[in-house]
A and B are shown apart, each in its own frame.
Chain A
Amino acid sequence: MNIFPVSASTFSGDIDGLFWLVTTLVGFWFILSELLLFYLIFRFRRKKGVKAQYIAGESRKEMAWIFVPLFFVILCDISIDLRTHSVWQKIKETLPQATEKVRVIGQQWTWVFVHPGPDGVLDTSDDIETVNELHVKVNTTTHYELQSRDVLHNFSVPVFRLKQDAIPGRAITGWFEATQTGEYDIQCAEMCGIGHGLMGARIFIDTQEQYETWMAQEIQKQQNYVASK
């Protein structure tokens, strides 16, 4: 079923898989409980001459009605928890080696992206700074360094299933690896003031050639700008 947006990172499939695992386990119990509830409501509706039974629910046999299903609920809980833990570890607790790095800065109410220029190192004179436009290479592990200039923001890329708060005064590093090219939304996912709803950006997942073309254009723009001054 295609209820999710495009899956475009190496871990988005894990998250979608976890979703379907939870849906299966939890959905089973949900439907079972609802069916049981409606069956009981229908079966024991008031009929003339039928008196209700007297059941205290305190004997061991009666308690089993609760605790036997509960045991299976706990089993489901544990399996969800284990799977969650392994996916979480992959996304947030480990930081694989990366060849690319990009700095993401949130501010009221735009995103600023600092790409390392041709030298591949941040904080050098050839850095390319863009507003509301992030360029990354496909099939490349990329580290992002997330900062904020004023209040809390949240860097959210739905197609990556990626989300991280940006906190002023801290630099938080995370990672992603895009698996397919295209142009998608970046949203701010933490209330950041009046312009919060307008704080969108676009991510461009480029092939190596596209990325190089774009970078050449940016460098050209920079040079034109310097020349015009």
Chain B
Amino acid sequence: MSPIATTRSATGIPTGRLAVWWVIISEIVIFGGLVTCYLLMRLGNPEWAEYASHTSTPAGALNTLVLLTSSLFVVIAHNAAEHDHDGAKAFKFLWMCIALGGVFLCVKAFEYTTEIHHGFTITKNVFWSFYFIATGLHGLHVIAGMVIMAIISFDVKKGKNFQRVELIGAYWHFVDIVWIFLFPLLYIAK
């Protein structure tokens, strides 16, 4: 039984949304710290441009496309849940999004293997350390998002907790936006 506190809304904003935004802001600060460190060191080390040329821009671009498409599916799922109360449709699009998350991870795994195969490991130099930590941390967020999305999708299918589609959607967009920052910084800027 949930407390009365949970049902109140003095601000008019649903409590769940407040909480998710809180989580997203704290994550932004964490990734922001990481990206700022990278930028500071990158500016101080011009030779990193050469290291960055060994990352696979096509693979990164493909992944960007995959994530953007998945974000679109989440939006469709959200619309289906919020406006049409169509649990089955929301369920379908959530799973299409999860599938794209899987594609993203496969491409990433392929990239990692090739890079490590060519000797670009995490201890090669600080650029590669940043590369693996930033993309790895982002990858963990993708996995977490997929798991939560799967859990929510089954509820939605049963017609429960429609509002949660919005919450996971917000989170998924955040994960997407982090990638939008990582892609140019680690792949394109040379």
A/B touching: CB–CB < 8 A: no
Chain A interface residues toward B at CB < 8 A: none
